[in-house]
Amino acid sequence: MTRYRKFTLLASLYFSQGLPYGFFASALPTLLREQGVSLANIGLANLLALPWALKFLWAPVVDRHGSTRHGWRRSWILPLQLVAILNLMVLGSLGPTAAVGLILVCVLMNLVAATQDIATDGLAVELLNSEERGLGNGIQVGGYRVGMIVGGGLLLVIVGRVGWTLSFLAMAGVLAVASLPILFYKEPAIERGDRAQPAASSLLGSLSRPGIWLWLVLLVIYKSGDAIASGMINPFLVDSGLSVQQVGWLSTLGSIASFVGAFVGGWGITRLGRRRGLLFFGLLQAVAVAGYVIAAFTSETGGLTSYGFLTALSIAEHFTGTMATVALFTMMMDVCRPGLGATDYTLQASVVVIAQLGARSLSGFSADQLSHLGNFTLSAGLSLVGAILAGLLLQNASFRDRLLGPTESSW
């Protein structure tokens, strides 16, 4: 299979996951608020994303079961794509006032998308060789971001123009088109490794690997730093006197910067190697977060931060944060065992999600107790620590050999 076809297939699959999540994360809170739902209940709606944090529990089932005739990963992905399309059609028939129905469908949407993500990650681990993983993960993150934009902000624009039902039917049609690459994909037969083991043993096996716990701790530290800042950036912008429209414009520019950063990160990790890429991009992320320390200090000392400076900060934080994410995802693929990519990658991805959710949830308390200045300082410091620890830990040949076996030149 050519590299172009691999990347097209993965882009379509990760776009398909990003579209429903974009609705849940961006469009749904706006629509609920428009219906008069309280801020507290809108905040609690984030619990609907729990399948993304808990998906490691059923990832071994996806690894262990599949169809050799229709494709081990494909036999999971295609039916889940169909359910996702039906979900969007059901949403279109419900209308925005059916609160209970919206919640139930959103739970199903997140469960379906999270399970599909398990199978897609397993396919990506098997499909991409070591040299392709940097750019492949850039395409993964970029496709997912585009899906979130379409299912979030763009959906809100369309709803305002053509109404609720037609908007969701259009989204279902887009998702159907995005399903064509996997529909026509002929998945090769691959030896399944530990397939004969009970499903739980695959997860326990992943957790008992030498060096894995230290690696998981590094994932938490590396991703928590930026998450503490990003959870409070928009409230800080509002407190700094920006209008909702100005904040929305900065968010849009940030999304564009993230899309570009995904591809730059994919190219950069290929050129720099795994360890240097994670260290370098992590340091850049820490510097970008430190820019908000300057902005918060200016604001708290009675100064006025220019809109241009805040725009530059938003672009830099999204751009560097996405590059660091691509580097981390690439290395997470390298940590996976042959034939058990869905289990091993999903375990790591779940740790990342839990770290981000936890950090973002605590960021409000941090900003309340320490002020925006203290919160951003904490975030920048933790980002710096994560980058340095990554560089030091992965420089240790003994640790690399225990976790990965003989390492390749890409490291």
Q: What is the pLDDT of residues 281-296, one digit of tens each?
A: 999 999 999 999 999 9
Residue 182 — very low, low, confident or very high, per pLDDT cuts 50/70/90? very high
Closest CA to 168 of 374, 28, 333: 28
Q: Which two tokens stand for residue 302?
A: 């009675």
DSSP character for 67? B
In the predicted structure, residue 360 carries a pLDDT above the cut 50? yes
pLDDT at 369 > cutoff 70? yes
Burial degree of 192 (CB within 10 A; 0-12, 13-18, 19+): middle
Which pLDDT belongs to residue 409? Answer: 47
Among 294, 303, 286, which residue's Cα sits nearest to residue 372? 294
pLDDT band at residue 172, thresholds of 50, 70 and 90? very high
CB 17 within 8 A of CB 144: yes
How far is Cα 260 from Cα 247, in angstroms, rounded to an integer? 20
- If one counts every other C-beta atom within 10 angstroms of the C-beta of residue 267, the result is 15
pLDDT at position 177: 95
Portion of the chain with pLDDT greater than 90, in percent: 26
Q: What is the pLDDT of residue 196?
A: 44
Q: How far apart are CA 26 and CA 315, in angstroms?
A: 19
Higher pLDDT, 102 or 108: 108
Residues near 219 by beta carbon (within 8 Å), at least 6 away in sequence: 328, 332, 348, 351, 352, 355
Mean pLDDT score of the chain:
83
How far is 315 from 317, CA to CA, in rounded Å?
6
Its pTM stands at 0.77
**Residue 343 pLDDT > 80, yes or no?**
yes
CA angle 205, 208, 210 (to 5 degrees): 120
